[in-house]
Chains A and B, each alone.
Chain A
Amino acid sequence: MSLTASLAAIGRPVLAALALIGRLALYAFETVTHLLRPPFYGREFLHALVQIGWLSLPVVGLTAVFTGGALALQIYAGGSRFNAESVVPSIVAIGMTRELGPVLGGLMVAARVASSIAAEIGTMKVTEQIDALVTLSTHPMKYLTLPRVLAATLAVPVLVGVGDAIGIMGGYLVGITRLDFNAAAYLKNTADFLETWDVVSGLIKGAVFGFIVATMGCFYGMHSGRGAQGVGRATKSAVVAASVLILAANYILTELFFSA
């Protein structure tokens, strides 16, 4: 392969990736601008709130309870190596609220919500329902995208908060049944060491992740290719993009919140 050919082989995907990031950013920006311009579709928003928030509770709760329990076991095992078993309650609480609650919650919502949004909007796209919306004087961004993005941005922090509480409870249950912690001492230890910022930083992460999940779902749905295959590809891309962006955003936010 000649030098120019190999450079082109590297350059093309890089350019394509940059172009994609640009389009994603523009799409996200356009979504936000619709927040300021009526009309607003309240019913669609409430519907999205139920779909994204309420119906995600079981999956987020289950994820959290098992994670909290496993975390307690691991920290106990690790802590016992230098006689620091007593840190279990506080580390479980900090680990859940700062990192695992928002990240795992965000990833579960990405799996559940980004996929369903992308599939729904993608199907609407390939069956010309999006075109029909336009001819009925209804802006697809306002009617489909904004309600979902807004609902996810508001609902995911709440899910994360609930997940935090359930995760801490999972750690507590494991702590008192398997690790011989005293119940009152466990709770006191948790409460004493947990700071407001631990929780709030996790909720802010949740809001960002919610925004990412719904935006990816809508973006890939709206840009779905033709036919069932197009919808399948859109769904896959939405979940992958949402998950990767959540992890990347998590690192950046953690840097911002906690470094130095």
Chain B
Amino acid sequence: MIELSDVHKAFGSNKVLRGVNLTIPKSTSMVIIGGSGTGKSVALKCILGLVTPDRGTITLDGQDVTKGDRDAFLARFGMLFQGGALFDSLPVWQNVAFRLLRGSLKRPKAEARDIAVEKLRRVGLKSETADLYPAELSGGMQKRVGLARAIAAEPEIIFFDEPTTGLDPIMAGVINELIREIVTEMGATAMTITHDMSSVRAIADNVAMLHDGVIKWTGPVSRMDNSGDPYLDQFIHGRAEGPIEAVR
């Protein structure tokens, strides 16, 4: 279980998070929605310790994430970055198998490669892709390689930052299914950021909406459509009119 309480983060005068409270139960899928630039990516990075919150606490299974063994903590996580963040000096398969080639999860090269190829297949990439370099791939392919890397070591907790942006509808469907599968079959805890409402419905157990630096609404996906919350309603129906000012 991941718990954020009263998390604040500002960059200079830009107050991005202003008291985020959120609980993600174990083995469930949480989807975070919210306007562009509201701090969704920053919130994920706070949990991983890539960004240090100014205030508030984040706990994983009751343990403060800033305390204790950092290596052991990170070994439980996988993360897909919004921009892919592939290592452009390494071929695709070494990107995917990065964790399996070094450190505590190290295994023989051939085995690591087999796992990488299998993960690539699951995100809809052919085995020929394995030996290409990231710069030789299209944007959507890079995204999927990033996804394969995030799940390669079968972590308990996986963060997906916009997994389906830039993918065609069919591939987006494949990825949604994959994320769902990882949660239900492998019992992983997933936290996904997406702007795609069909993804939300396909992936989520629970939904949280970030707006103005706080969680404006959170609840099970089934209650999303009749929440009565004007912010959430405006967002999921994509209306220009409403409490969220679209043009600032």
Q: Encode A27-39 as 1/0 by CB contact (under 8 A) with B.
A: 0000000000001
A39:B103 contact, CB within 8 angstroms: yes
B137 interfacial by beta-carbon distance below 8 Å? no
Q: Encode A133-155 as 1/0 by CB contact (under 8 A) with B.
A: 11111100000000000000000
Interface SS of chain B: helix, strand, loop or mixed? mixed
Q: Which of B77-85, B125-133, B169-177, B237-245 participates in binding chain A?
A: B77-85
| Smallest CB separation, A143 vs chain B (Å) | 9
B99:A128 contact, CB within 8 angstroms: no
Taken together as a complex, chains A and B put the C-alpha atoms of A129 and B134 apart, in Å, by: 12
| Smallest CB separation, A197 vs chain B (Å) | 41
Which B residues between 179 and 205 are near A, CB-CB below 8 angstroms? Answer: none
Which B residues between 85 and 139 are near A, CB-CB below 8 angstroms? Answer: 85-88, 98-99, 102-104
Taken together as a complex, chains A and B put the C-alpha atoms of A41 and B103 apart, in Å, by: 10
B26 interfacial by beta-carbon distance below 8 Å? no
Q: Could you say which of B75, B81, B87, B102 contacts A41, with CB atoms under 8 Å apart?
A: B102
Q: Could you say which of A39, A132, A134 contacts B87, with CB atoms under 8 Å apart?
A: A132
A127 interfacial by beta-carbon distance below 8 Å? yes
Name the interface size band of chain A.
10 to 19
A195 interfacial by beta-carbon distance below 8 Å? no
B1 interfacial by beta-carbon distance below 8 Å? no
CB within 8 Å for A136 and B85 given contacts A131-B45, A131-B50:
no
Taken together as a complex, chains A and B put the C-alpha atoms of A137 and B50 apart, in Å, by: 12
Q: Could you say which of A129, A134, A135, A137 contacts B86, with CB atoms under 8 Å apart?
A: A129
| Smallest CB separation, A18 vs chain B (Å) | 23
B77:A135 contact, CB within 8 angstroms: yes
CB-defined contacts of A136 to chain B, threshold 8 Å: 74, 98-99, 149
Taken together as a complex, chains A and B put the C-alpha atoms of A133 and B161 apart, in Å, by: 16
Taken together as a complex, chains A and B put the C-alpha atoms of A134 and B85 apart, in Å, by: 12
B168 interfacial by beta-carbon distance below 8 Å? no
Q: Encode A199-238 as 1/0 by CB contact (under 8 A) with B.
A: 0000000000000000000000000000000000000000
CB within 8 Å for A135 and B79 given contacts A127-B85, A128-B85, A129-B86:
yes
The 19 listed contacts between A and B (C-beta, < 8 Å) are A39-B102, A39-B103, A131-B45, A131-B81, A132-B81, A132-B86, A132-B87, A133-B87, A134-B48, A134-B49, A134-B50, A135-B50, A135-B77, A136-B98, A137-B71, A137-B75, A137-B99, A138-B98, A138-B103
B residues sitting closer than 8 Å to A (CB atoms) are 45, 48-50, 71, 74-75, 77-79, 81-83, 85-88, 98-99, 102-104, 149
A residues sitting closer than 8 Å to B (CB atoms) are 39, 41, 124, 127-129, 131-138
